C-alpha cells in the first residue's frame, strides 16, 4: 500500500516509510501527474509545465529520464508500473483511496450532504476531513507548475468551504464557546470572509458577549469600506440588526431529529409506566419487540414511545408499517424506502447498514408478524453491520433473532 500526500508537503509513503522522489524537477513532474491521476498527460504539456518558455534542447530526453527514475522510486503495481505510457503521454495509476486529496474531497462532500439532516454525523465527518489537511497543498515546491497552482487554489477553496460548514454545524450543536478562539484565528487569516465573521459574531453572542459580537461586525464593515469600498452582504447586516434587537431566533435550539412518525388522530392517555419500561429496555437492548394480540395497542404504544424518546436519538426516528407487505422478499425494499435509502450494487442490506452506521437512530418496524422471519434476518444483519441504531418492533409473534428482547403489552386498565 502506497499513500500519496499533497495536502501539505508532497510526500509518498509506503509501509517502510517515505520514498525518495529525487530532484526538484522530478518532484514537480510527479506533482503534475498527481493533478490528473489515471489520465494521460501529453509530453508537450508536461514539458510546458516543467520548463515553460525556457525549454531546454534536451527537454524530451530529460522528461523520459525523470519518468524512468520516478518509476523506480514508486515501485510497481501487480499488473505493471505506476507510471505508464499512453498515446503520446504518461499517466500515473492510483487506487481511489491512495491520494489524500481524493479522501479529503470525499469526506467534505459527505459532510456537506449530512449537515442539515444529521449534524452530529456531519461534524464527525468534517472533523476527520480537517485532520487530513496538513497545510497548503504542495507546500514544499518552490516554483510549482501551473497545473499544480490551479489544483492548490481549488483545494484551498474547498478547505475554506469545509471550515465554514464545520463551524456552522458546531454552532447548531451548541459548541459556540469552544469555537470562539478557532473562529477568531480564522477571521485573522481571512479578514474579508463574511461567513466566518458571521459565525464568530453568533458564537460570541450565544456566549453572552454581545458587545464583542457587535464590535466584530463593525470592524468587518470598517475594513470592507476602507480597503475595498464595499458594504457587508445582507447576511451579516441582518445578523447585526437581529443582535441589536436580541431576536429570539438567535438563541440556540437543538436540531430536531429527522423522522417520519405518523401523527396520532387522538390524544394518548395512560400507559406512562409502560412507556418508562420500554425506554429502559431500549437503553439496555438494541432490539425490543412489543408482542400481544391484535388490537391491544402495540402500534400506538410504539409510536408514542418513539415520540417521547426522540431526543435520545439524534440520528432520527424511522417508522415502517409492514402490514401491507405480502411478499417476505420485499421487506428489505419497504424498510429501505421508509429510510430513503437508494439501491446500491452491493444490495439493500449493505446500503441500509451504511446509511445507519454512524446514526444513533431508532427504527420502528410495525406489524411484523406475517413476515417475522424476513424481518428478523434483516434486523440481525443491520445491527451486526451498523453500531449506531436500535430497533423497536411490534409483532404478534417473536422475530426469533439473536439479541431480541420480548415485552408483552398489557391490557389497558380502567381508572378506579
Domain count, the chain: 3
Question: Which run of H or E residues covers position 287?
Answer: strand 287-291
Round to whole Å and give the CA distance between 78 and 175: 48
392 and 282 housed in the same domain: yes
Q: What CATH number is given to the structural domain containing 389?
A: 3.40.50.300
143 and 169 housed in the same domain: no
User: Please, is 262 exposed, middle or buried when counting C-beta atoms within 10 Å of its C-beta (0-12, 13-18, 19+)?
Assistant: exposed
119 and 67 housed in the same domain: no
Length of the chain: 416
Please answer whether residues 29 and 46 qualify as being in contact, where contact means their C-beta atoms are separated by less than 8 angstroms.
yes
Q: What CATH number is given to the structural domain containing 97?
A: 1.10.10.10
Q: 366 by DSSP, 3-state: which?
A: strand
Please answer whether residues 83 and 90 qualify as being in contact, where contact means their C-beta atoms are separated by less than 8 angstroms.
yes
183 and 146 housed in the same domain: no
Q: Which domain holds residue 296?
A: 272-408
237 and 281 housed in the same domain: no
106 and 119 housed in the same domain: no
277 Cβ contact partners less than 8 Å away, ≥ 6 residues apart? 407
294 and 385 housed in the same domain: yes
276 and 344 housed in the same domain: yes
Strands (E), 225-332: 287-291, 317-321
391 and 277 housed in the same domain: yes
Q: Does residue 415 lie in a domain region? A: no
How far separated are the first and last CA of the chain, in Å rounded?
Answer: 73
Q: Does residue 126 lie in a domain region? A: yes
Which of residues 250, 282, 302 is at a domain's end?
Answer: 250
Q: Does residue 170 lie in a domain region? A: yes
Task: Give the Å distances, CA to CA, from 295 to 292, 364, 389.
Answer: 9, 18, 28
Per residue of the chain (416 residues), what is the pLDDT tens digit?
Answer: 789 999 999 999 998 899 999 999 999 999 999 999 999 999 999 999 999 988 999 999 999 999 999 999 998 888 889 999 998 999 999 988 999 999 999 999 999 998 887 888 889 999 999 999 999 999 999 899 999 999 999 999 999 999 999 999 999 888 999 999 999 999 999 999 999 999 999 999 999 999 999 999 999 999 999 999 999 999 999 999 999 999 988 987 655 566 778 865 455 556 788 899 999 999 999 999 999 999 888 999 999 999 888 878 878 888 999 999 999 999 998 998 888 777 666 677 888 887 787 678 899 999 999 999 999 999 999 999 888 899 999 999 999 999 999 999 988 655 55
Q: What residue has cell string 422475530?
A: 399
- Output the CA torsion sign for 324, 327, 332, 333: negative
Whole-model pTM: value is: 0.64
149 Cβ contact partners less than 8 Å away, ≥ 6 residues apart? none
Q: Does residue 1 lie in a domain region? A: yes
Please answer whether residues 367 and 321 qualify as being in contact, where contact means their C-beta atoms are separated by less than 8 angstroms.
yes
Q: Does residue 259 lie in a domain region? A: no
Q: Does residue 416 lie in a domain region? A: no
Round to whole Å and give the CA distance between 74 and 70: 6
Please answer whether residues 286 and 390 qualify as being in contact, where contact means their C-beta atoms are separated by less than 8 angstroms.
yes
Q: What CATH number is given to the structural domain containing 234?
A: 1.25.40.10
Residue 311 DSSP one-character state: G
213 and 301 housed in the same domain: no
Q: Does residue 386 lie in a domain region? A: yes
Q: Does residue 263 lie in a domain region? A: no
Q: 14 by DSSP, 3-state: which?
A: strand
234 and 340 housed in the same domain: no
19 and 98 housed in the same domain: yes
Round to whole Å and give the CA distance between 314 and 305: 15
The three state secondary structure string of 191-233 is: CCCHHHHHHHHHHHHHCCCHHHHHHHHHHHHHHHHHHHCCCCC
β-strand partners of 119: none
β-strand partners of 288: 392, 405
Which cell goes with 181? 478562539
Query: What's the maximum distance between 2 C-alpha atoms anywhere in the chain?
Result: 103
Amino acid at each position: 500500500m502506497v499513500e500519496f500526500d499533497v495536502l501539505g508537503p508532497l510526500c509518498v509513503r509506503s509501509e517502510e516509510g517515505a520514498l525518495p522522489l529525487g530532484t526538484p524537477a522530478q518532484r514537480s513532474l510527479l506533482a503534475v501527474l498527481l493533478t490528473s491521476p489515471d489520465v494521460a498527460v501529453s509530453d508537450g504539456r508536461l514539458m510546458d509545465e516543467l520548463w515553460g518558455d525556457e525549454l531546454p534542447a534536451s527537454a524530451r530526453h530529460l522528461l523520459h529520464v525523470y519518468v524512468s527514475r520516478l518509476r523506480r522510486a514508486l515501485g510497481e503495481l501487480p499488473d505493471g508500473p505506476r507510471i505508464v505510457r499512453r498515446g503520446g503521454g504518461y499517466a500515473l495509476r492510483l487506487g481511489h483511496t491512495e491520494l489524500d486529496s481524493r479522501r479529503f474531497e470525499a469526506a467534505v462532500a459527505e459532510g456537506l450532504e449530512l449537515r442539515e439532516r444529521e449534524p452530529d454525523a456531519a461534524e464527525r465527518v468534517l472533523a476527520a476531513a480537517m485532520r487530513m489537511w496538513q497545510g497548503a497543498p504542495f507546500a514544499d515546491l518552490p516554483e510549482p507548475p501551473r497545473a499544480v497552482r490551479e489544483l492548490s487554489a481549488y483545494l484551498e477553496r474547498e478547505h475554506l468551504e469545509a471550515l465554514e460548514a464545520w463551524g456552522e454545524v458546531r454552532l447548531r450543536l451548541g459548541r459556540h464557546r469552544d469555537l470562539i478562539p478557532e473562529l477568531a484565528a480564522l477571521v485573522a487569516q481571512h479578514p474579508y470572509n463574511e461567513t466566518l465573521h458571521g459565525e464568530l459574531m453568533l458564537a460570541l453572542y450565544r456566549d453572552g458577549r454581545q458587545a464583542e459580537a457587535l464590535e466584530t461586525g463593525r470592524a468587518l464593515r470598517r475594513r470592507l469600506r476602507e480597503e475595498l469600498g464595499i458594504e457587508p452582504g445582507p447576511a451579516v447586516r441582518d445578523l447585526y440588526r437581529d443582535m441589536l434587537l436580541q431576536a429570539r431566533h438567535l438563541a440556540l435550539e437543538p436540531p430536531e431529529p429527522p423522522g417520519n412518525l405518523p401523527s396520532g388522530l387522538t390524544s394518548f392517555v395512560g400507559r406512562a409506566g409502560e412507556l418508562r419500561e420500554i425506554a429502559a429496555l431500549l437503553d439496555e437492548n438494541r432490539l425490543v419487540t412489543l408482542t400481544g394480540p391484535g388490537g391491544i395497542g402495540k402500534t400506538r404504544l410504539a409510536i408514542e414511545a418513539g415520540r417521547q424518546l426522540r431526543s435520545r436519538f439524534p440520528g432520527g426516528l424511522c417508522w415502517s408499517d409492514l402490514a401491507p407487505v405480502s411478499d417476505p422478499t420485499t421487506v428489505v425494499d419497504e424498510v429501505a424506502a421508509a429510510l430513503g435509502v437508494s439501491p446500491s450494487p452491493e444490495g439493500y442490506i449493505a446500503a441500509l447498514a451504511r446509511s445507519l452506521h454512524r446514526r444513533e437512530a431508532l427504527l420502528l418496524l410495525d406489524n411484523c408478524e406475517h413476515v417475522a422471519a424476513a424481518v428478523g434476518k434483516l434486523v440481525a444483519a443491520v445491527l451486526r453491520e451498523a453500531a449506531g441504531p436500535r430497533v423497536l418492533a411490534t409483532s404478534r409473534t417473536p422475530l426469533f433473532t439473536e439479541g431480541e428482547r420480548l415485552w408483552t403489552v398489557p391490557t389497558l386498565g380502567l381508572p378506579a
